[in-house]
């Protein structure tokens, strides 16, 4: 497929003796399509060329040339050089690429040979997997899929919360009352009950609290009984968590949680001591970060135990050695911004290659806000993720029962729409914004939602089924698709790979979500303006192939967000 942006950059680079890569970074896609398909802001060159932007634009226009088949016209507007691609060149190139790549359309080798580590989800074992874990899970899951699609070697890590004094308490509670609770049948709820019970007893009896501390020390020292019980808690928890991951279509390559680094933290302490970076502070051992205008990073608490920061530093060291990463991403809430700033600064002091320490990236996101009174569970303010996802499925099933009771495979379709609605709602806005969780908005089939996108996809499928065929690319007359609405859709399809690159560069899945809505809305306008199945065969073939292409890109894009498309609704 012709890279029009690259072609424009080549011509401007020749005329200015600037680097083509630099020019490409400056080229924009105008928000108003009347201003062309691409625009080059000449004020970027004003300083180096010592000329006014409109003059630079006019001179560039005279200096560069394109074949008429490629470029329809070039215009100068207020210091911008606006490029208008020949519609037929755009249509033929895009649709030929669709025909060639099909389900692999938009794939890239951009990340070939590069390793990306993504740390996401990370629930605490033996505790409810709740709505607060949704954002990390789906944002991280989408980034994982998109990076892979762009050719990166991705490692998805679930850094489980499976370490700490709470496990000493759980072990003590299980020793005392384990036979009263059926943790195999309902592990998370039953372990939560044990934890609440032992926690209350600890408040009343200092000896019990001391026994819990001793249990955790035994666990650290690999006491066989404590390790056996801890493993049981972990395995049962993971079995429960997997139900949610299956619903969300999220996967991991590593389940190494905090406990995995329990024998790797001594090295961190040793390195920092050898570099004279550990200093005492109120009984704890810290690394001062005054020069970075940050509070000190606590490495060892007053009782000598390690911290989250120590474990995160051990993880950085391990991941650098094991995965040789080009970039390591941490998908957690904005509440942890300071924590990761501190950890990343201390990591620079460990003696690691700058390749690693300069490519540690925290990807913060906002919190989920609930509309008052909309949802509640027996846990009070803890909304379990599995219950929420099942609620979404049940609500969609009720809507379908009312609107289309004879639909086949209703259960499967309700699942695809319900889960898709939850994921899409989470990924539709910039991740740093707090998310408003509102059933009415989320499950609306007419708004900018997952169900709307799925509905448009189903419409493309039904049109192709009604026609009874998808034409071959050889049967498509490109000149039948040069009207404004058709070209608008094809521009969107052409830009699909660029959209995926933007998601990866900015770590923002919402760029893809919004793109898919624009594509769906554009097709809806096309459908309303043009009949697809018509008497004139050449027109029908062209419009059917456009319909097929829209459906294909919607399906690929949705799958990269973790959303399945139903065939019927």
- Minimal CA–CA distance to 289: which of 328, 344, 333? 344
Strand partners, 130: 384
Question: Residue 266 and residue 465: Cα distance in Å, rounded?
Answer: 64
Mean pLDDT of the chain: 93
134-165 per-residue burial string, b: 16 or more CB within 10 A, e: under 16: bbbbbbbbbbbbbbbbbebbbbbbbbbbbbbe
Provide the pLDDT confidence category of residue 384 given band limits of 50, 70 and 90: confident
Question: Hey, CA dihedral for 171, 195, 166, 318, is it positive or negative?
Answer: positive
Provide the pLDDT confidence category of residue 376 given band limits of 50, 70 and 90: very low
Q: Identify the pLDDT of residue 511.
A: 97
Alpha-carbon separation of residue 125 from 25, 135, 265 (angstroms): 45, 18, 21
pLDDT of residue 50 exceeding 80: yes
Sheet hosting strand 153-157, strand order edge to edge: 153-157, 115-119, 327-333, 360-365
Give 300-339 pLDDT, tens digit per residue.
Answer: 988 777 889 999 999 999 999 999 999 999 999 999 999 9
Classify residue 238: in a domain, yes or no. Answer: yes
- DSSP H helix total and E strand total for the chain: 22, 12
15-29 per-residue burial string, b: 16 or more CB within 10 A, e: under 16: bbebeeeebbebbee
Question: Residue 150 and residue 106: Cα distance in Å, rounded?
Answer: 8
pLDDT of residue 23 exceeding 70: yes
Q: Identify the pLDDT of residue 383.
A: 81
DSSP letters spanning 410-462? HHHHHHHHHHHHHHHHHHSS-TTSPEEE-HHHHT-SSSSSHHHHHHHHHHHHH
Q: Identify the pLDDT of residue 555.
A: 98
- Minimal CA–CA distance to 101: which of 149, 142, 144? 149
In this prediction, residues 66-92 reach a mean pLDDT of 92
- Minimal CA–CA distance to 565: which of 470, 457, 408, 426? 457
Q: What are phi and psi of 113, to 5 degrees?
A: 85, 0
Question: Residue 225 and residue 227: Cα distance in Å, rounded?
Answer: 6
pLDDT of residue 373 exceeding 70: no
Question: Residue 544 and residue 469: Cα distance in Å, rounded?
Answer: 9
Sheet hosting strand 297-300, strand order edge to edge: 278-281, 284-287, 297-300
Please answer whether residues 493 and 98 qualify as being in contact, where contact means their C-beta atoms are separated by less than 8 angstroms.
yes
pLDDT of residue 165 exceeding 90: no
Number of domains making up the chain: 2
Please answer whether residues 419 and 456 qualify as being in contact, where contact means their C-beta atoms are separated by less than 8 angstroms.
no
pTM greater than 0.85 (yes/no):
yes
Give 100-157 pLDDT, tens digit per residue.
Answer: 999 999 999 999 999 999 999 999 999 889 888 999 999 999 999 999 999 999 999 9
Give 315-326 pLDDT, tens digit per residue.
Answer: 999 999 999 999
CA diameter of the chain:
87
Give 343-358 pLDDT, tens digit per residue.
Answer: 999 999 999 999 999 9
In this prediction, residues 360-366 reach a mean pLDDT of 97
Classify residue 195: in a domain, yes or no. Answer: yes
Q: Identify the pLDDT of residue 374.
A: 39
pLDDT of residue 412 exceeding 50: yes
**Domain CATH code at residue 69:** 3.30.1360.70
Classify residue 63: in a domain, yes or no. Answer: yes
Classify residue 144: in a domain, yes or no. Answer: no
Q: Identify the pLDDT of residue 382.
A: 67
Question: Residue 419 and residue 396: Cα distance in Å, rounded?
Answer: 10
Please answer whether residues 265 and 350 qualify as being in contact, where contact means their C-beta atoms are separated by less than 8 angstroms.
no
Classify residue 480: in a domain, yes or no. Answer: no
Give 414-432 pLDDT, tens digit per residue.
Answer: 999 999 999 999 999 999 9
Question: Hey, CA dihedral for 175, 377, 333, 282, is it positive or negative?
Answer: negative
Domain boundary among 85, 117, 134: 85
Domain boundary among 202, 233, 251: 251
Classify residue 493: in a domain, yes or no. Answer: no
pLDDT of residue 380 exceeding 50: no
Classify residue 49: in a domain, yes or no. Answer: yes
- Minimal CA–CA distance to 524: which of 458, 470, 426, 427? 458
SS3 258: helix
In this prediction, residues 236-240 reach a mean pLDDT of 94
CA 453 distance to own-chain centroid: 18
Q: Which domain holds residue 219?
A: 164-251
Q: What are phi and psi of 300, to 5 degrees?
A: -130, 135
In this prediction, residues 448-454 reach a mean pLDDT of 96
Domain boundary among 227, 251, 275: 251
- DSSP letter at 130 equals B
Classify residue 154: in a domain, yes or no. Answer: no
Q: What are phi and psi of 287, to 5 degrees?
A: -110, 120
Q: Identify the pLDDT of residue 132.
A: 85
In this prediction, residues 212-228 reach a mean pLDDT of 90
């Amino acid at each position: 497929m012709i890279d029009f942006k690259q072609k424009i950059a080549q011509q401007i680079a020749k005329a200015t003796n600037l680097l083509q890569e630099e020019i490409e970074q400056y080229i924009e896609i105008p928000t108003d399509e009347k201003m062309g398909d691409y625009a080059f802001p000449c004020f970027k060159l004003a300083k180096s060329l010592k000329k006014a932007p409109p003059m630079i634009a006019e001179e560039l226009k005279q200096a560069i040339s394109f074949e008429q088949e490629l470029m329809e016209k070039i215009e100068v507007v207020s210091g911008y050089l606006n490029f208008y691609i020949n519609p037929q060149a755009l249509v033929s190139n895009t649709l030929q690429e669709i025909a060639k790549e099909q389900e692999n359309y938009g794939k890239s080798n951009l990340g070939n040979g590069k390793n990306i580590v993504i740390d996401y989800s990370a629930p605490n074992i033996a505790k409810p997997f709740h709505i607060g874990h949704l954002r990390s899970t789906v944002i991280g899951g989408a980034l994982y899929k998109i990076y892979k699609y762009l050719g990166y070697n991705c490692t998805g890590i679930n850094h489980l919360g499976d370490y700490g004094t709470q496990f000493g308490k759980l072990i003590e509670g299980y020793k005392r009352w384990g036979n009263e609770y059926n943790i195999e049948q309902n592990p998370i709820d039953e372990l939560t009950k044990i934890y609440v019970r032992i926690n209350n007893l600890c408040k009343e009896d200092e000896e019990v609290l001391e026994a819990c501390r001793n249990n955790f020390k035994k666990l650290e020292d690999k006491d066989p009984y404590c390790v056996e019980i801890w493993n049981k808690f972990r395995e049962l928890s993971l079995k429960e968590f997997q139900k949610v991951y299956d619903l969300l279509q999220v996967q991991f390559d590593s389940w190494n949680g905090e406990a995995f680094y329990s024998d790797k933290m001594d090295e961190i302490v040793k390195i920092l001591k050898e570099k004279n970076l550990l200093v005492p502070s109120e009984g704890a051992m810290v690394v001062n970060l005054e020069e970075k205008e940050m509070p000190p990073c606590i490495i060892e608490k007053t009782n000598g135990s390690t911290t989250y920061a120590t474990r995160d530093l051990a993880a950085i060291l391990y991941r650098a050695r094991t995965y040789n990463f080009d970039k390591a991403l941490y998908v957690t809430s904005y509440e942890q911004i300071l924590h990761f700033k501190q950890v990343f600064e201390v990591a620079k002091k460990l003696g690691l290659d700058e390749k690693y320490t300069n490519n540690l990236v925290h990807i913060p996101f906002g919190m989920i806000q609930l509309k008052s009174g909309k949802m509640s569970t027996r846990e009070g303010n803890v909304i379990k993720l599995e219950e929420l996802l099942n609620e979404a499925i049940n609500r969609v099933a009720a809507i379908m029962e009312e609107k289309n009771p004879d639909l086949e495979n209703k259960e499967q379709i309700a699942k695809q729409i319900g889960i898709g609605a939850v994921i899409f709602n989470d990924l539709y806005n910039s991740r740093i914004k707090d998310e408003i969780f509102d059933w009415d908005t989320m499950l609306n089939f007419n708004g900018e939602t997952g169900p709307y996108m799925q509905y448009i996809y189903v419409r493309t499928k039904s049109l192709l089924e009604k026609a009874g065929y998808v034409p071959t690319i050889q049967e498509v007359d490109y000149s039948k698709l040069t009207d404004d609405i058709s070209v608008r859709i094809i521009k969107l399809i052409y830009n699909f790979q660029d959209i995926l690159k933007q998601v990866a560069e900015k770590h923002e899945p919402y760029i893809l979500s919004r793109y898919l809505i624009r594509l769906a809305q554009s097709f809806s306008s096309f459908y309303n303006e043009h009949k697809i199945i018509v008497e004139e065969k050449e027109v029908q073939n062209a419009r059917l192939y456009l319909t097929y292409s829209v459906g294909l890109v919607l399906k690929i894009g949705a799958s990269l967000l973790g959303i399945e498309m139903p065939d019927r609704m």
